[in-house]
Amino acid sequence: MGVAVTEPAAVARFDEDEATPRTDGQPLSHLSVELGHLYREDYARDDAALVEYFRRVGSWYEAARDIAARELAPVRPRVCTTFLVDDYSGGIPPPNELIPRVVRLAGEAGVTIDYVARESGCAHTGDSAVAPLVAARLVDEPPPGTTGVRPPASVTGWLSNGERSTAGAGRPAMAPSPQWTPPRENAGNPHSVFVDVEMWNLGADRLPRWSCAFLAAVWQLLRLGLLRDEGRLVAVPEPVPERLDVPWRDLPAVMRSTPRPAPFAAYRTLSIMDSRFLKTEHAVRTLIGAFAAQRPVLEQLARRAGQEGIGLPDVVADRIGYVFLGPSWR
């Protein structure tokens, strides 16, 4: 994964690189709304069940639009909608079945999907290895009072928001048992909620297999307009191809499914999804909290927001909102 981002040389490299290349800008919506997330088993449900699902999602989407309109008045909010397809895990229907069906059923529920994206595009798209770009900019936060003995996340593939608990494993024979100490969140206030996130593991080919949480973090960063590859935009939306009878890997990472939608990237995001994704999104916020965004990109977004009179949180994770759906009443 390259040089550990905890080393001073790596931080210096970021600063030097950012001073020279041109940083591409992009149009921005005020809000990007993710209209649910489905697993392979969800697509086996009948059309009526999925229409009802999108109706539930649509109610919260309309509420989000109303809130944005009230808070941005008299400006008319620019709001786009997205739907992420998990083609990374496999086992889902082919594109020529899934994409038209999802767009159609959402439309029957009164919801328009502006952009359809592939989760594999959060790992690699075109000439950009997107996931490694994000992994290279994760900065470990050493727990207070530690010595830095623990290997960095860039080596282990695990990132935590604090100090792991002690354990007696590996102690010499006959040695006294060490006193157990609990895990501790760095910013616990006053109690801790400790998270240890697996970002990847190595497959039989010794290549990283990215976790759902890590790809979801990349997805949020893409929607927030925070990713560049040597100053260039990555995963630029393209129209949904006329021919969809191709493998998922042959499709663009992000596809525009309506003629003139609001821009894909936005100042803020909202994801509406089932409550089963709560722990994944907790991990996403932990990862994004460790992400060192490129300074020119942050400055570009802040300048644009200021010109529009929009409040943009300094903490990137605070630009992300959620609605978690519980079970239906029936």
Rounded average pLDDT over 80-95: 95
Res 145 pLDDT > 70: no
Provide the pLDDT confidence category of residue 148 given band limits of 50, 70 and 90: low
The pair phi, psi for residue 116, each rounded to 5°, is -110, 130
State the burial class of residue 282 (Cβ atoms within 10 Å of its Cβ: 0-12, 13-18, 19+).
middle
**What's the chain's average pLDDT?**
88
DSSP state of 171: P
* Structure tokens, 330: 């029936």
Q: What is the pLDDT of residue 173?
A: 58
- CB-based contact 195:202 (threshold 8 Å): no
Q: What is the pLDDT of residue 126?
A: 81
Within 8 A by CB and 6+ apart from 286, the residues are 159, 160, 161, 195, 197
CA distances from 184 to 103, 154, 165, 188 (A): 44, 21, 7, 7
Q: Is 273 helix (H, G, I), strand (E, B) or coil?
A: strand
Rounded average pLDDT over 121-130: 90
**pLDDT tens-digit profile of 165-206?**
775 555 555 666 667 887 888 877 788 888 899 999 987 888
Percent of the chain with pLDDT over 70: 87
Percent of the chain with pLDDT over 90: 70
Residue with tokens 């803020």: 268
Between residues 159 and 147, the one the model is more confident about: 159
Distance CA 263, CA 223 (A): 10
Q: How many CB atoms lie within 10 A of CB 89?
A: 12
Within 8 A by CB and 6+ apart from 145, the residues are none
Extents of the domains making up the chain: 27-118+224-279+290-325
* Structure tokens, 157: 């593939």
18 phi-psi bin (left φ>0, alpha ψ -120 to 50, beta other): alpha
Q: What is the pLDDT of residue 144?
A: 65
CA distances from 206 to 1, 64, 163, 168, 209 (A): 12, 43, 28, 30, 9
Res 155 pLDDT > 60: yes
**pLDDT tens-digit profile of 237-274?**
999 999 999 999 999 999 999 999 999 999 999 999 99
Within 8 A by CB and 6+ apart from 87, the residues are 118, 119, 120, 248, 249
Of the candidates 5, 1, 17, the residue with the CA atom closest to the CA atom of residue 231: 17
Question: Strand locations in 140-229, DSSP E?
Answer: 158-160, 162-163, 184-185, 196-198, 200-202, 208-210, 228-229
Res 210 pLDDT > 70: yes
Q: What is the pLDDT of residue 30?
A: 98
Residue with tokens 């992420």: 84
DSSP track, 6-43 = TSHHHHHHHHHHHHSS-------EEEEEEE----GGGG
Rounded average pLDDT over 75-87: 97
